[in-house]
Amino acid sequence: MTFGEKLRETRLALNLSQAELSQMTGLSERSLYTYEQLGIIPRSRNVKKLAEALNVSPAYLLDEEETDPQKSFDSARMIEDVKKEFGTRGAREAHDVLERAGALLAGGDLDEEAKDAFFQSLMEVYLDSKKNAREKYTPKRYRVSRSHRNKGAAQ
């Protein structure tokens, strides 16, 4: 199924009009029409907005072969969390880690629950490593200012 077909089918399954989805995402009705009817693929940030509004993963919308709307949903959220804490570079690294680990498991006999647990553990180790590296290699003068910023934001 194409991006446009999945978008339309998912929208209708949630009983949403294009106008309602437009309000939810901030995208124009005309854009939604072109995505659904003309096969136009939106920019990645718009795919993300649509996926969030429809409660499906961006990977589901973009991959014509994918039939599971929640496929890669957790990994997308994990990568988003990494991006918030470590920026775009950290998110790219996390994506690469997950992709390479996925290649190791391809064709194996693990069920989805076991794979999810593996990926969750892998991301925890990755995040711990990033935090340890930040502590070890960031000069103290920058660590202090970062902690002051965090205290100021919490107040």
pTM exceeds cut of 0.75: no
CB 10 within 8 A of CB 56: yes
Asked whether residue 17 falls in the same domain as residue 77, the answer is no
> What's the DSSP call for residue 106?
T
Domain closes at, from 25, 40, 62: 62
Tokens of 142: 């920058």
* One domain, residues 48 and 79: no
Choosing from 42, 62, 82, the residue where a domain stops is 62
Q: How far apart are CA 31 and CA 141, in angstroms?
A: 47
Whether the Cβ atoms of residue 82 and residue 107 lie closer than 8 Å to each other: no
Residue 26 placed within a domain: yes
Q: Which helix (H) or strand (E) holds 138?
A: none
Gyration radius from the chain CA atoms = 19
| 83's tokens | 């991006």
Write the pLDDT tens digit of every residue in 105-132: 766 677 767 777 787 788 888 888 888 8
Written as one letter, the residue type at 18 is Q
pLDDT in tens, 10-66: 999 999 999 999 999 999 999 999 999 998 899 989 998 998 898 888 888 888 887
